[in-house]
Amino acid sequence: MKKMNFWKKSASGALIAAILLTSTMPVAQSILPLPYLSVAHAEGEAKQGANLEIQSPVGLLIDAQTGQVLWEKDMHAKRYPASVTKIMTMMLAYEAVEKGEKKLTDIVPISKNAYLVEGSSVWLDPNEKFTLQEMLEFIAIQSGNDACVATAEFIAGSEAAFVERMNKKAEELGMKDTHFADTNGLHHPDHYSSAYDIGIMARELISKYPQVLEVTKVQTKMIRDGKFKLENTNHVLGQYDGLDGLKTGFTDEAGYCLVATAQRNGFRLLSIELGAPNDDVRVSDSMKILDHGFNSYKQESVIKKGEAVSELAPITSGKETEVGTVAAEDLNVAVLKEGGAIEKKVVYNEVEAPVAKDAVVGQLQVVQNEKVVASVDLLAAEEVEKGSWIRLMFRGIGNFFSGLFSSIGDFFSGLFD
């Protein structure tokens, strides 16, 4: 009887010790979800192209897929964005369609406000009938301010309500240097952004709604039974291999601005220049930025969708203690053609069973010069059930004694060192 009490006490003590020990053991590093662009912004890498010089006061080059900043010039300076603003207007129009609020085939009413708006225009008349798809063409090609106002009123009820949506979306995307006062970029002292924020906005648009590129690449289009010609204000179109967008801007206060995007062999870049003194400089600076990207960088495949990583994810309180993981998406990264070595790093969240198959349990990160430049979610390759209490108890006891004997071994080993 005494012997039984001894073992009961010993097992209880071991269990308590195991619980205390496991509660103090280090767990896998926990990471927070990363913002959509800054998962790859790697500002420490932005100076790699410091030899690139442009006349515009502000410039930026990013990898459109990962969001890596490959080169920058004063990218957080607050500037008047002019009609580059319309990237957000188009984004919210596509978003309304995606949510089922509107259809691209819907007829957009043309109000007196839209009819009277100043600046670039397609001269909309309240008696005309155009679809939402056509309004997007007017915005993207001709940079029509009137089309922006009509679209905003159609989607949100008023331009003011639409501007509220714009600022809310900017906040959601982490655009900290930005505030919108209108839908089209007409000058307003409280309407500003930065190249970095514009990069976030542009990348979001072409990533979520790539169909916009079918519109932004159009150089000319006839409307009104061939009586009116839309002419794209982006004069890099037709001059640069692979270029298919995105949006120009100009006011006296903003100068000449351009967000350009081009793709070659599946490698898409975004260039941004703000404040050029004239259109010729706007064009040449944009081409210089893109040239730097395609000449200096290459796209390298890191992992394919569904491909497994070698490290297993630790699972607490599970029937199994580990689970294999696979990549949620393809991951490519822009690396310098010379000296562009990268390191892969698996970072797992603290995950407790039960775990569903395809649940996000961590990330595969790409590190370059100690900066995370891109990442992809890692998904559980199979389901992990919660372990029974008795399984977890004996596992805890086993871990305790394993740690205990290891410590004893280390102690005696140290005596003879």
**Which pLDDT does position 218 carry in this prediction?**
98
CB 198 within 8 A of CB 205: no
Of 56, 120, 121, 143, which one is the catalytic site residue?
Answer: 143
Out of 3.40.1190.20, 3.30.200.20, 2.60.410.10, 1.10.10.10, the CATH code matching 22-32+303-401 is: 2.60.410.10
Strand-strand pairing, 255-264 and 243-251? antiparallel
Per-domain boundaries in the chain: 22-32+303-401, 76-264
Q: Which of 73, 86, 169, 288 is catalytic?
A: 86
One of 56, 83, 111, 271 is an active-site residue; which one? 83
Is 286 among the residues known to form the active site? no
Given a cut of 70, whether residue 408 has pLDDT beyond it is no
The pLDDT tens digits of the residues spanning 91-141 come to 999 999 999 999 999 999 999 999 999 999 999 999 999 999 999 999 999
- pLDDT for residue 10 is more than 60: no
Gap between the Cα atoms of 130 and 108, Å rounded: 6
Digit-coded pLDDT (tens) for 237-288: 999 999 999 999 999 999 999 999 999 999 999 999 999 999 999 999 999 9
Task: Enumerate the β-bridge partners of residue 259.
Answer: 247, 272
Question: How many Å apart are CA 334 and CA 344, to the nearest integer?
Answer: 14
Tokens coding 60: 């930026």
Query: Catalytic site residue 407?
Result: no
Give the class (CATH, top level) of 76-264: alpha beta
Local confidence band at 150 (pLDDT 50, 70, 90 cut-offs): very high
- Is 179's pLDDT higher than 60? yes
User: Quick check: do 22-32+303-401 and 76-264 share a fold?
Assistant: no
Over residues 186-197, the mean pLDDT reads 97
Residue 15 is inside which H or E element, if any?
helix 2-24
Interval 311-355: pLDDT, tens: 999 987 767 788 899 999 999 899 888 876 789 999 999 988 788
Residue 55: C-alpha distances to residues 52, 180, 261, 280 (Å)? 10, 26, 19, 11
For residues 178, 183, 184, 186, the Cα torsion angle rounded to the nearest 10 degrees is -70
Kindly indicate the confidence band of residue 393, based on its pLDDT and cuts at 50, 70 and 90.
low
- Among 34-48, 221-235, 365-379, the minimum mean pLDDT is found in 34-48
Q: Known catalytic residue: 129?
A: no
